[in-house]
């Protein structure tokens, strides 16, 4: 049973054309995270929401934004994708209270033409 | 900033061989440690975790890891690997900040088990 669902699995967009990736969860977790993972690299945290509080990592480009309209959904918006933004984007959730592991979605692989 | 090092990027073993994957982290305070596994075409899954207590942690599928505080290490082991263990393994360390976890991942180790 998928608990963290990312859509779509594969996304192709054009250079400079805005794109939105979506993530939903059935775990009712407080915290939702977005990571970027490039080939042979560690997942890199872009930002996360603790409930409605948005926390941006210092080195996340302004081109990347996020929305969390409710507990279950979180979106990653890339305003003007560049070739360097081609990557796997991972969504994860955690309870946010105490030390609980993160639960990951299958990821969305983004390609830029 | 926290950093996590996995020195083996690609490991090839025959079935039944023993496995040890290294993981070292930089943070000197209280840490929580994880190993995640990513099987081909699947999402990251938790393999095992250490929060406190016995430094030898047992996880799923016969894996274990040992936390050695003095060495800042959390190496993953399995006495006898199987072909189905072919996957990428990520070590991760978290800091608990403001009620949420900030997790730093290592770059991963790709394990290939040859039948």
pLDDT tens profile A26-73: 999 999 999 999 987 889 999 999 899 998 888 899 999 999 999 999
Q: What is the pLDDT of residue B30?
A: 75
Cα(A61)–Cα(A85) distance, integer angstroms: 10
Residue of chain A nearest B49, judged by CA positions: A101
pLDDT > 80? residue B83: yes
* pLDDT score for A95: 86
**Mean predicted confidence (pLDDT) in B7-25:** 95
Tell whether B26 is within 8 A of chain A (Cβ).
Answer: no
Quote the pLDDT of residue B102: 74
Q: Which of chain B's residues have a Cβ under 8 Å away from the Cβ of A104?
A: 36, 43-45
Task: Check whether A22 has a pLDDT greater than 80.
Answer: yes
Residue B81 has pLDDT above 60, yes or no: yes
**Is pLDDT above 80 for A99?**
no
Q: Contacts for B2-7 with beta carbons within 8 Å, 24 or more apart?
A: B2/B26, B2/B27, B2/B93, B2/B95, B2/B102, B2/B104, B3/B104, B4/A42, B4/B91, B4/B92, B4/B93, B4/B104, B4/B105, B4/B106, B5/B106, B6/B89, B6/B90, B6/B91, B6/B106, B6/B107, B6/B108, B6/B109
Q: What pLDDT does B97 receive?
A: 63
Largest CA distance in chain A: 42
CB contact under 8 A, A50 and B100: yes
Give the chain B residue whose CA is nearest to the CA of A37. Answer: B107
Does the pLDDT of residue B29 top 60, yes or no?
yes
Res B100: pLDDT = 62
pLDDT value, residue B1: 65
């Amino acid at each position: 049973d998928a608990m963290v669902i990312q859509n779509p699995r594969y996304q192709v967009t054009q250079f400079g054309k805005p794109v939105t990736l979506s993530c939903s969860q059935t775990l009712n977790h407080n915290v939702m995270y977005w990571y970027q993972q490039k080939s042979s690299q560690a997942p890199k945290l872009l930002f996360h929401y603790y409930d409605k509080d948005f926390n941006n990592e210092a080195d996340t480009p302004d081109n990347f934004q996020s929305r969390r309209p409710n507990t279950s959904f979180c979106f990653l918006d890339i305003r003007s994708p560049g070739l360097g933004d081609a990557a796997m984007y991972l969504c994860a959730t955690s309870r946010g209270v105490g030390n609980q592991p993160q639960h990951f979605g299958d990821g969305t692989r983004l390609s830029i033409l | 900033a926290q950093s996590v090092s996995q020195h083996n990027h690609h490991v090839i073993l025959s079935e039944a061989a023993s496995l040890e994957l290294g993981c070292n982290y930089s943070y000197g305070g209280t840490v929580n440690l994880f190993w995640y596994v990513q099987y081909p075409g699947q999402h990251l899954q938790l393999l095992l975790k250490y929060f406190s207590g016995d430094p030898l942690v047992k996880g799923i599928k016969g894996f274990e890891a040992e936390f050695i505080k003095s060495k800042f290490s959390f190496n993953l082991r399995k006495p006898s690997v199987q072909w189905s263990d072919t996957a990428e393994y990520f070590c991760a360390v978290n800091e608990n900040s403001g009620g949420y976890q900030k997790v730093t991942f290592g770059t991963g180790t790709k394990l290939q088990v040859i039948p």
